Chain A
């Protein structure tokens, strides 16, 4: 299965009638493995900040989470595994696997819970596969 099909067939798939606004799978170094067509272009230091927050949970909270220049307010995640950000009615969920970062950006009417379900499920599957 190619990385792109993880994006097209799984991350961007419909869940309860809604789907993510954009999604990507990137390496821990920021290299893009696959992304949806409209995924924002992000900067290397944004990924560095994110990886740092997985190591030191809470480091992004004071300044906010930045992705593709958009600022998200950090909300309750799972230290070392999941970072969640909120921007108005939308937001982002980032799940860390052994070698990658699964990123899902959602907007209304999709709910944070639905985004988490999609992103974390794929993440758990990859972790089981050793990726």
Chain B
């Protein structure tokens, strides 16, 4: 049986058997609904509680995560109780030690797996495009990680995590639409869908300024039948990544942040990092983002100019939405057969702290 690879994001959980060069077989929303135990109530739908097991990239609700993994492994991927296999997890940058230990404990004690490995999402995204060194700009739903990786090891000192992601852009869009349509009742999930359909990045900041003054509007029909027009708000959402002041944040845009991170690495490695820059994550697949990023990068005044790398042709389309998962599938083929993973025996002997020794 192949090993299972899981990348649990704040919005989408990617899971599947480790078959390289293929997308994950399961891409499901991480968000769960808690149905009330009392089914006699006729107003049951009003008591539905929405639970997010993964917040800002980190697992925060362990009970919910356990239920979600149970569904994914036994129902989704067909694991049988008593015959559980090996599993590889993709961790975000700066995952707390305690969280890594709790995950390995959960997997061995509750799910009785036979082998465990965890790797950083940044390292995995680079493996997916065939590199062991480079930088990744991973913009997900709940967080943005800018990481520098050299020979398969994340340089902690020059990597940064930002609590900024698609979620904040959705809220921004909701705010902008609320200004134009104060009386229309827009749910967050409606705005999320509008964002995915319409959000894009202007070519450069001059183009953005022009669009702010006059922008062609598109009509969109909401689920309840009302029609709204979406104009410059779609570009505002994309621009926020390059000008975080739009979100009210005192921070530099994404390209400057990357340049700053690279500059803290010793200069002999600069070229390697710059020539191998990967954009990944759901939010980074926004229309126009890559071109704008490359354009901003070429305008950099310093000697440090990132160059975005294209994925190999044999990789599935939309790789950036699940590059960490694909990298996990690639490395699973090496780690498990070569016994570099944490086995049940290792866990029983040393306990959860074994994850820091064997997986990094």
Contact = CB atoms under 8 A, between A and B. Distances in A.
B150 A76 contact: no
A61 B153 contact: no
B98 interface: no
A61 B340 contact: no
Nearest to B117: A113
Contact of A58 (B151, B153, B157, B358): B157
Contact residue range for chain B? Answer: 10 to 19
B339 A116 contact: no
Interface in B265-285: 266
B155 interface: yes
Interface in A75-125: 75-76, 78, 84, 86, 88, 111-113, 116-117, 120
B359 A113 contact: yes
Contact of B156 (A61, A88, A112): A61
A6 to B, nearest CB: 19
A64 B153 CA distance: 14
Contacts of A75: 153-154, 360
A16 B150 contact: no
A62 interface: yes
A73 B340 CA distance: 21
Nearest to B158: A61
Interface string B140-163: 000000000011011111000000
Nearest to A84: B360
Contact of A61 (B151, B157, B339, B358): B157
A41 interface: no
Contacts of B155: 61
A117 B355 CA distance: 11
A63 interface: yes
Contacts of B346: 117
Nearest to A111: B340
Given A62-B266, A63-B266, A64-B266, A113 B153 contact: no
Contacts of A113: 340, 357-359
Interface string B326-343: 000000000000111000
B294 to A, nearest CB: 29
22 contacts: A16-B339, A61-B156, A62-B157, A62-B264, A63-B266, A73-B150, A73-B153, A75-B154, A76-B153, A76-B154, A78-B97, A78-B356, A84-B360, A88-B151, A112-B360, A113-B340, A113-B357, A113-B358, A116-B357, A116-B358, A117-B346, A120-B357
Interface of B: 97, 150-151, 153-157, 264, 266, 338-340, 346, 356-360
Interface of A: 16, 58, 61-64, 73, 75-76, 78, 84, 86, 88, 111-113, 116-117, 120
